[in-house]
């Protein structure tokens, strides 16, 4: 019977523990370079998983993570034995990234993809003043806050959750729009939006109240307008052991365990 994945590659975060794990697996299993593999095994934490998903974005190549980091929310348990059998039995979780477009105060345009979230954050002691539009309609004429965050379902348990945003099931066709330390409107706690929505945020008084924009780990400073929408044309495929799918992990987070 043909194997589900004929070729395997390994990547590791630059920590001694992860590199030692990579060496042990390479000594035990045949492997190829990541660009030629049917599946990539990532050894590290959630940061490495995000970097690996970015690296192979658009390729459709599945990523199977094993935890050699800290939290490891996106990762499977690390074991050297039975890797091929685990890969064959693994379940797919599919997510889509956000495409962020930024206009800075010099008029230059920049783009970047985010798997977890796009967020805007004040750069100085002054609060940010932001105008929020959804599909071309102004929904908040002025948000005074430390910033704002747009999270995918896959990223809803990350920074979004830490600023009291909602946890979204992985297959929910939604985006979470969450303020970061909102001052006015004081009672606004954010919104759930269709994942086909185009969200645009304009910085009011951008020269005097500078704001940065971040897509996962890509940052642009002194921005005046940021737009974000989900790119449904790109599939990000993660593999998880049965009973430990990303859907299951997100569900557990909703019940606090």
Q: C-alpha angle 132/138/142, rounded to 5°?
A: 50
Predicted pLDDT of residue 1? 59
Residue 19 lies in a domain: yes
Residue 253 token pair: 């987070």
> Please, what is the Cα angle at 115 between 111 and 119, to 5 degrees?
65
Q: Give me the pLDDT at residue 67, please.
A: 96
21 within some domain: yes
Q: Are residues 202 and 140 in the same domain?
A: yes
Output the domain CATH number for residue 90: 3.40.50.10330
- Report yes or no: 235 and 73 within 8 Å, Cβ to Cβ: no
Instruction: Give residue 252's pLDDT.
Output: 84
Range(s) of the domain holding residue 26:
8-96+234-254
Say if residues 116 and 171 touch (Cβ distance below 8 Å): no
Instruction: Look up the pTM and report it.
Output: 0.93
64 and 132 part of one domain: no
Active site residues: 46
From the first residue on, what is the mean pLDDT of each consecutive set of 10 residues in the chain (257 residues)?
Answer: 87 96 97 97 96 95 95 92 96 96 97 98 97 98 98 96 94 97 94 98 96 97 98 96 86 81
Q: Are strands 8-12 and 39-44 parallel, antiparallel or unpaired?
A: parallel
Same domain, 136 and 245: no
Q: Give pLDDT, residue 71.
A: 81
Residue 1 lies in a domain: no
């Amino acid at each position: 019977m043909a194997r589900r994945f004929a070729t395997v590659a390994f990547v590791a975060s630059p920590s001694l523990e992860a590199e030692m794990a990579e060496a042990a697996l390479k000594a035990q299993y045949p492997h190829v370079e990541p660009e030629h593999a049917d599946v990539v095994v990532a050894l590290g934490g959630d940061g490495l998983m995000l970097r690996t998903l970015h690296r192979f974005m658009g390729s459709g190549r599945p990523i199977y993570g094993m935890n050699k980091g800290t939290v490891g929310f996106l990762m499977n348990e690390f074991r050297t034995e039975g890797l091929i059998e685990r890969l064959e039995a693994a379940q797919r979780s599919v997510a889509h990234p956000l495409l962020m477009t930024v206009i800075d105060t010099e008029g230059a345009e920049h783009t970047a993809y985010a798997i977890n979230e796009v967020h805007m954050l004040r750069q100085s002691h002054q609060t940010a003043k932001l105008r929020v539009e959804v599909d071309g309609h102004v929904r908040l004429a002025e948000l005074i806050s430390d910033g704002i965050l747009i999270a995918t379902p896959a990223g809803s348990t990350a920074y979004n959750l830490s600023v009291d945003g909602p946890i979204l099931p992985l297959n929910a066709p939604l985006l979470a729009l969450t303020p970061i330390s909102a001052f006015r409107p004081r009672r606004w706690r954010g919104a759930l939006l269709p994942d086909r929505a185009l969200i645009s945020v304009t910085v009011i008084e951008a020269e005097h109240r500078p704001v940065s924009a971040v897509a996962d780990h890509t940052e642009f400073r002194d921005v005046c307008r940021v737009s974000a929408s989900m790119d449904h044309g790109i599939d990000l495929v993660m593999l998880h052991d049965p009973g430990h799918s990303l859907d299951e992990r997100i569900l557990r987070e909703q019940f606090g365990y």
